[in-house]
Amino acid sequence: MKKKILIISGGYSKEREISLQTGEQVAKELKSNGYLIKICEPNYDLYNLAKSFKPNIIFNALHGQYGEDGYIQAILENIKIPYTHSGVLASAKAMDKEISKKIFIKNNILTPKFIKFSMDDPYRELDNKIKKKFGYPVVIKPLNEGSSVNVYICNEKNLKQKLRKLKSYKQILIEEFIPGREIQAAILGKRKLGAIELKPKRQFYDYTAKYNSKAKTEHIIPVNLKKKKFNELMKISQKVHDLLGCRGVTRSDFKFYKNKFYLLEINTQPGMTKLSLVPEISAYKGINFINLLKLILKDAETNK
């Protein structure tokens, strides 16, 4: 009997288009390998569709707010059908950049220093805090967005101007800027899939560099690291995956500077598009796209 998979994609976040691409890629691959597939949006029909279609597993292809922050996971828990990727608490902790960074620090995982800033706070106080804590340049970002949405590198002169672009957010994170190499590592359950280095042509690996093929970001695999340093990278990635209680596949983003790994964040819903990194890392490891998806589905069934 063919397995039925219900794929949830689209959603309401700023990463909607990427989610639709992920859903489409996953559906195409599973369908061509004998699975029965239905794709739906995370709307009021989800519950009824799940009950009528009766899938073996729900594949969560959502990204960003409401898709990887514990919100949809809470709904899926009530539907009581196994679903892919991390559960409610792990998703919520990973998505909140302040909470996740506090967990990193508590567990001796190196991460850039940061300040949480409320948009109602006086700018002069912020400037003083930055100069006292780590200095310029800085990275500003929302507390709970993914895919480098609304992330900017700022100097003292343009910080105020860039902050205006984030005025729709009540609170943001301001981080010390760590130069160095962009390296990302993937974990699937207890399996260390591997890592990839990115050399963007742009200022950094932002939304455009991630999802626009014209941005021509260079992907380097294998990563040029000594074996000891590579093992250290994968050990940290597995450690943070386990610390947050993640399931399925995660991708941890690092800066490698002065022989040290700085963990920027962990992603519990990595993309599965043509330009996505986890499928590329897996392929280098000898795990093609369909087998990667099968491993993710198996993990969902095992951890139901």
Single-letter code of the amino acid located at 25: Q
CB-CB neighbours of 19 under 10 Å: 29
- Candidate list 83, 253, 282, 299, residue with the active-site label: 253
267 is a catalytic site residue? yes
Single-letter code of the amino acid located at 127: D
86, 246 Cβ separation under 8 angstroms: yes
Please state, in angstroms and rounded to a whole number, the distance separating the CA atoms of residues 236 and 187: 10
- Candidate list 182, 194, 271, 299, residue with the active-site label: 271
19 is a catalytic site residue? no
Please state, in angstroms and rounded to a whole number, the distance separating the CA atoms of residues 199 and 209: 9
- Candidate list 13, 147, 252, 276, residue with the active-site label: 147
Burial label, 297 (beta-carbon count in 10 A; 0-12, 13-18, 19+): buried
The CA dihedral of 152, 212, 144, 154, to the nearest 10 degrees, is 0
- Candidate list 9, 10, 11, 15, residue with the active-site label: 15
286 is a catalytic site residue? no
211 is a catalytic site residue? yes
Q: How far are the Cα atoms of 39, 234, 242, 253, 264 from residue 231, in angstroms, in the given order?
A: 38, 5, 16, 15, 18
- Candidate list 211, 248, 262, 299, residue with the active-site label: 211
Nearest-5° angle of CA 265, CA 266, CA 270? 125
Which 8-state DSSP code applies to residue 3? P
- Candidate list 251, 252, 276, 282, residue with the active-site label: 251
Question: Which tokens is 168 given?
Answer: 């729709």
156 is a catalytic site residue? no
The SS3 assignment for 210 reads helix
Please state, in angstroms and rounded to a whole number, the distance separating the CA atoms of residues 114 and 282: 32
Q: What is the DSSP string of 40-106?
A: E-SSTTHHHHHHHH--SEEEE---STTTSSSHHHHHHHHHTS-BSS--HHHHHHHH-HHHHHHHHHH
- Candidate list 247, 265, 282, 299, residue with the active-site label: 265
Q: Which H or E run includes 194?
A: strand 191-199
253 is a catalytic site residue? yes
Residues assigned a catalytic role: 15, 147, 211, 251, 253, 265, 267, 271
